[in-house]
Structure 1
Amino acid sequence: MNIFIKDIQKTYGNLKVLNRINIEFKDKDFSTLLGPSGCGKTTLLRIIAGLETPDAGEIYFGDKCVFSKEKKINVASNKRKLGMVFQDFALWPHMTVFENIAFPLKAKGKKENIKEKVFSALKTVRLENLYARYPSELSGGQQQRVAFARAIIDNPEVILFDEPLSALDANLRDEMRFELTTLVKDIGITVIYVTHDQIEAMSMSNKVIVMNKGNILQSDSPEVIYKNPINTFVAQFVGKSNVLKDGIIRPENISLTKLENSTEYEGSVESVSYMGSFYELSVKISSLGLWKIYSNERKAAGEKLKLYIRNSDIHILGGIANV
């Protein structure tokens, strides 16, 4: 299902949280709202869910208008045909896995074939043998899958995720990124995902929507967002970058050996971080500040280096740096 957001605005007192947001979420795409805390991404997600009311604008689910300030339309959240997975999973601790997943159906009075529907959802998330357990008896990853099963139990046309992996440890987050991506692809459903984690956004999404201060700065594929950021904020929020006068250069595009058609810079190593497959160097360059450089060899603090950059690897920014 396509979702169209038109001129959505939201303020809290004197604070403008969303500033005339216009965006389309395409059917069966995995779209991620990415940005720092307070940028408006969660507010936008809650507005799409019907949990917050915008001050102006319209929202369409396909051809159906679910919100319009001007037309006085505001379809209730439970009638928008969506599922939602929260940051804290929001599982009822006194209910079993089966009861948690069945809850949305019972709350809507849909009592027919509940057992069949619940076990179908359990099979999707590969938890058929844990239906009688309570949330406290499950791992974090298992609880996440229960929350996902509950979100899909009533066959929604879109699933909304509000930072669902932030409560998990690093190794489990890596595992669940793959799990969630596989599950939603198998189901074939529209996904809108909120995170401040660039790795989640870039590795899971078809489309990344970078937000800051209530504005959408750039919306495109992960590859375009990384290789062609519109401004300094996007360049520095999505991956690491070094700022030149007219553009940015990614650390992986800086060579410690001479290249043809390249410009030479000199700097001194300030610090070295071992990253496993490479070393990340902080190199101070006169007039340009501190740069991040990747090296296959360890360098000593204070060591003088020559750096080489091809002009073709410099991305010229076209946007406004401080939006």
Structure 2
Amino acid sequence: MTLDWSPVWISLKTAALATLIAFFLGAIAARTMFKYRGKAKGLIDGIFTAPLVLPPTVVGFFLLLLLGKYGPIGRLLRAFDVTIIFTWYAAVIAATVVAFPLMYKTALGAFQQIDTTLLSSARTLGATEWQVFWKVLLPLARPGLIAGVLLAFARALGEFGATLMLAGSIPGRTQTIPIAIFFAAESGDMAEAMLWVSVMLGLSLTIVVAVNYWSDRRPEKRIRKRAKEGHLSLVDESLLPWDHPVTPLTWEYSRTNVLPNPIELIVDIQKQLPGIKINVSFSTNQLPLGLLGGSGAGKSFILRCIAGLETPDQGCIILNGRVLFDSRRGINVPIRDRRVGFLFQNYALFPHLTVAQNIAFGLPKGLSSVAIRQRVEKQLIAIQLQGLGDRYPQELSGGQQQRVALARALASEPDILLLDEPFSALDTYLRDQLEKLLRLSLTHFPGATLFVSHNLEEAYRICPNLLILDEGQIIAQGPKQEIFDYPHDFRVAQLTGCKNFSRTLVASENEITALDWGCTLKIYEPIPPHLAHLGIRAHQLTFPDIDGIKDGYSDNIFPCWLTSQSETQHRTTLYLKLNSAPTSPFDYHLQAEVFKDKWNELKEHPQPWRIQLHPLRLMLLQNSSGSISLEYKPSHSSRMTRDDRSNQHPS
């Protein structure tokens, strides 16, 4: 008797169509749930995955209730003379329902493993949500999606209970391989049953091997393969000098609405976050503005609000007269239309695109392929990576990746450049080289620039103006030298690198007792109404026996003893105690920083040394709350400006 092979073809075509439907439905559902943050997320996810945990017969029973003669969908179909039950379409529906959860969960897991910074980067480069989905999300999730498709196909191929209840076992029409196995075994034909089992085992093993193959296709393996074949040489960039002197990045504005002059960014936003409330109001022009503050102060969040990646509770953001956000007027311009260049801390280069494709991703729409190639090549030359356009980001060093990220951000022709700690992941050598490139590029950049950093020296070198943040509030803003020399606030002094502080007690009109330093100091600056601390920067302490008397001021000179020391390549930090010898390594009042040549000279002098806390270098600091009151209040006539004091010697 000739064996009927129709169960094989029925199973294959049923599983193929069910997998195709499950792929589209599962990918769309996974994308929706990936973005969804509502309270019903758990309930919806439970409904989507229910067929994965319910017995197939239960799933088939519910499908009968829906599609049967008296079910709501069945009655609707009967009105059009359409019957689903006991047809091949019923087998497809049953296979789709049981395969969908595997596709959905696998796709969702693949999406969740993607760095969301990559999606944010695509949006700031002008991509729509569907472009982000098709050009970034799907390609990056491809290995997981392929594995999901194979698993969904295997699940659809092996479906039995729901198919039997909904489609029955009609030879040549709805009888699939699992159903054929069941009826062959039930009739006692074990040889036929074993044949179908062998077919299923062969298909299942093929699918498992394919899943493992696609799951193992990591970019690192391809890179090692290319290196082994001689197509790639991985070199530590920090060991080599750059090929040419650093040159600024260039770009060409193709938009008709070019940037106005002068440039202005106005930010006035409030946002309640867990444990902190962001409440900032500031404006800036074309000069780069540095945002300084401790971790969690709200620096990066402000940049994300400007880019549209976060939405404030209330306030407004205006760039060059164009309203990007206004809570009262209900304006919230989409990210893709804000024309923002965002340089992320982790570079956020698309790993599935080459260097050239990364740079071209944000180029203005409508350019010809020739124009795109020319612009990309110009950017590659500027960042000294010519000839590397066909490499992938994983094939570049960290410094090279950051250069590509900067070129990509500028190539998109932004109105504002947002830099979120762009050098924090680089070593000292590469940081210095990239900082030079950035400084030169910013001198030619026609838009506004915000630079987030927790490194004072880095922000000081790049930005003429600084904004100091603490716990979501602005505590200082203005020219960098003014903030550095006249912080006026204890927290500002801390965040700008001051290491020496003392609580204070006003002794007289021009004398203040430094309680933590054990000395009384002459003061020639007006005493603020809520004085809380004195401060002096470590590098501004001087040693009269070596430095001499500065500016003719001989006040505030005290004997000091060395408690301990620590060294860097160029400087030595001295921990000093005033007026008496220390009793332990932790018994000190001040930290002084000196260059190595001065330290070599100073250590030859016998102790105690003499140290001066220069009256014009002392910082009179208030608390932000202003809760500290004075015991002595100078009269208005006694106040002098620092410029007045610089032309006057004490008696």
* TM-score for the superposition, normalised by structure 2: 0.46
Give the CA deviation at 1:116. Answer: 2.5
1:251-295 alpha-carbon deviations (Å, 9 max, x no partner): 232222263422122333221122344421011347996311134
Higher RCO (Cα < 8 Å, 6 or more apart): 1
Q: How many residues align?
A: 316
Alpha-carbon distance in structure 2 between the residues aligned to 1:154 and 1:277: 41
1:283 is aligned with what amino acid?
L
Q: Please, which moves more after superposition, 165-174 or 282-291?
A: 282-291
Larger Rg: 2
Cα shift at 1:53: 0.2
Whose strand fraction is larger, Structure 1's or Structure 2's? 1
Question: Do residues 297 (structure 1) and 558 (structure 2) align?
Answer: no
Q: Is the 8 A contact 1:255 1:307 kept in 2?
A: yes
CA separation of 1:73 and 1:289: change in aligned 2, threshold 3 A: farther
In structure 1, the partner of 2:443 is 185
Partner of 2:389: 131
The aligned amino acid for 2:544 is T
Distance 1:310 1:125 in 2: 46
Specify the alignment match of 2:415 in structure 1. 157
**What CA distance in whole angstroms lies between the structure 2 residues aligned with 1:147 and 1:187?**
16
Determine helix, strand or coil for the equivalent of 1:191: strand
Percent identity, aligned pairs only, is 31
The secondary structure found in structure 2 opposite 1:311 is coil
SS of residue in 1 equivalent to 2:376: helix
Matches within 5 A, 1:1-323: 1-6=263-268, 8-13=269-274, 15-19=275-279, 21-26=280-285, 28-105=286-363, 109-112=365-368, 113-244=371-502, 245=504, 246-257=533-544, 259=549, 260-285=553-578, 290-295=589-594, 296-298=598-600, 299=603, 304-318=608-622, 320=624
- What amino acid sits opposite 2:335 in the alignment? S
8 A Cα contact 1:11 1:18, kept in partner: yes
Partner Cα distance (1:104, 1:121) in 2: 13
What SS does structure 1 have at the residue aligned with 2:387?
A: helix
Displacement, 1:43? 0.6
How far the C-alpha of 1:219 sits from its partner, in A, is 0.9
**Residue 188 (structure 1) shift:** 3.5
Secondary structure of 1:115 counterpart: helix
Query: Bigger shift: 282-291 or 35-44?
Result: 282-291
- Unaligned stretches of 5+ residues in structure 1: none
User: Counterpart amino acid of 1:2?
Assistant: E
TM-superposed CA distance for 1:123, in Å, is 3.3
The answer as to whether partners of 2:488 and 2:619 remain within 8 angstroms in 1 is no
List runs of 5+ in structure 2 lacking aligned partners.
Answer: 1-262, 505-532, 581-586, 628-651
Contact 1:85 1:164 in 2 (8 A): yes
1:310 positional shift: 2.5
Amino acid at match of 1:262: D
CA contact (8 A) 1:32 1:201 kept: yes
Task: Measure how far apart 1:319 and its partner are.
Answer: 5.5
Q: Secondary structure at the match of 2:311?
A: coil
AA aligned to 1:22 is S
Separation (CA, whole Å) in 2 of partners of 1:320 and 1:303: 39
C-alpha distance in 2 between matches for 1:131 and 1:185: 26
Q: Is the 8 A contact 2:491 2:623 kept in 1?
A: no
Instruction: Give the 3-state SS of the residue equivalent to 2:556 in structure 1.
Output: strand
For the aligned residue pairs, the C-alpha RMSD in angstroms reads: 2.5
Cα distance in 1 between the residues matched to 2:419 and 2:365: 25
- Distance in 2 (CA, whole Å) between partners of 1:40 and 1:61 is 20
